[in-house]
Every structure is written in structure tokens, then in C-alpha cells.
Amino acid sequence: MDTPLFFASRSRLYAFLYNFRFYGRLSRALVQHRKTTAGLATGKILELGPGTGANLRYYRKSVEVILLEINPYMIKSLVKKLPVSDYHSSAIRGTAETLPFKDCVFDSVVVTLALASMDRLNFALLEILRVMKKNGNLYFLEHVNAPDKRIRFLQKSIGKLWGFMTCGDKLNCNITEAIHTVGFDHINSNDIIIEGAFPFTKHAVIGSARK
């Protein structure tokens, strides 16, 4: 089991490495997906699990973005990248499962490659619903179970190690079903392949859902 010191070192290492994770082909492949999640969000936006800020450059001008991240070392990197003029943004430390906001305050919520890292996914989704305005939109992008049996076996075999290295990322969540179960409406989702990702992380779902 993790001691607090070991956990802190792991979180720090993950935050450091995350800055390099999306260079090259993977980074280019994700551009389109970030445009159709972060890039479509409007109004007052909450982003959960922003990591070191890979979505920042895709938000539209004149929106307001609040970024909530659990890993303090990710936040250190993130705040250095906050745009100063394009739109208003701020970063806070917190956990998606207990959001420090009143009910019905956000027009959009963005979560990319982070829902599957959350310890209690259903709590986080219920919190997202609570803080979203009526007709607000959730934009999501997540890894999913591969349709191919052999890759699913690989995902299962490597899952624990991957989760350990990534501070909790799970490869076999059924995100769309979880979103449906907590009560979102108008769910639009597409299965995609993320080019340049590992065989066990390239199967993903992208979409939006309305409150």
C-alpha cells in the first residue's frame, strides 16, 4: 500500500512525465479530439482533471474556465500555462467527487482522459450534474474497453500496472453507460481510435451529454 510520501513522489513523477506524454504523433492525433470537446464548450466552463493543461489552447475566446485538479504537482505546471488574455481562467485543487461549487452554475463541463482516473466515477458524475445549469453540456473523451478480445485481455493484464503508473487511470470503464445511468440526457458518443497511442489505450469514446 502507498505511504503518503510514496504517493506524493508518484504524483510528482506523474505530473513531470505528463508534460512529455503528448508530444509527437499522439499529441497531433489528440488535437481534433480536444477541438471537439474543449473547443465546443461555451460560457462558464468547469474542466475536471486538466492535468498540466493540454486543453488550454482549445478554449474559445471570451469563455471563463475554472480548472479543478487533484494532483498539486499538476497544478504547479498548469498555473504557469494559464492564458493571460484570451479568456479568463483559474486553477484550483480539489476532487471531482466533492465539488466546491453551488448548484447549477456552469454552462459546460469538460473532462478529457480523466473520468476513468477518478476513484468514484458515479459520485463525480453526480457532482457534475449538480453544478451544471439546466441544458448545460458535458464534453468527454475517455479510454474504453477494446472490442477485440486479445486487446481486452492485454488491457486486463496490464491494467493494474498502468493504473499504478498513471495514478489511477482505468482502461475498462464503460463511461457512456455511467453517464446514462446518473441521468444525463441527449448523449452523443462515438467510438474512436487514438492514433499513436498504445494498443491498449487507443480505444476511446468521445461525445457530449446534456443535463
**3-class secondary structure per residue, the chain:** CCCHHHHHHHHHHHHHHHHHHCCCHHHHHHHHHHHCCHHHCCCEEEEECCCCCCCHHHCCCCCEEEEEECCHHHHHHHHHHCCCCCCEEEEEECCCCCCCCCCCCEEEEEEECCHHHCCCHHHHHHHHHHHEEEEEEEEEEEECCCCCHHHHHHHHHHHHHHHHHCCCCCCCCCHHHHHHHHCCEEEEEEEEECCCCCCCCCEEEEEEEEC
Tell whether residue 51 is a contact of ligand SAM (CB under 6 A).
yes
Quick one: which segment of 48-56, 130-138, 171-179, 198-206 binds ligand SAM (CB under 6 A)? 48-56
Sign of CA dihedral 43, 169, 73, 71: positive
Residue whose C-alpha is closest to residue 99's, from 83, 112, 111, 81:
111
Q: Is 114 in the site for ligand SAM (CB under 6 A)?
A: yes
Residue whose CB is less far from ligand SAM, 185 or 191: 191
With CB under 6 A as the contact rule, the residue among 41, 109, 132, 169 that binds ligand SAM is 169
For residue 171, the minimal CB distance to ligand SAM (Å) is: 11
Query: Under the criterion CB under 6 A, does residue 48 sit at the interface with ligand SAM?
Result: yes
Looking only at residues 52 through 111 of this chain, which bind ligand SAM when binding is defined by CB under 6 A?
Answer: 54-55, 68-71, 74, 95-97
Rounded least distance, CB 56 to ligand SAM, Å: 10
- Quick one: 69 or 200, whose CB is closer to ligand SAM? 69
State in angstroms the smallest separation of the CB of 89 from ligand SAM: 14
Name the minimum Å distance from CB 149 to ligand SAM. Answer: 25
Residues binding ligand SAM: what is the number (CB under 6 A)? Answer: 23
Binding of residue 112 to ligand SAM (CB under 6 A): yes
Residues that bind ligand SAM (CB under 6 A): 48-51, 54-55, 68-71, 74, 95-97, 112-114, 117-118, 166-169
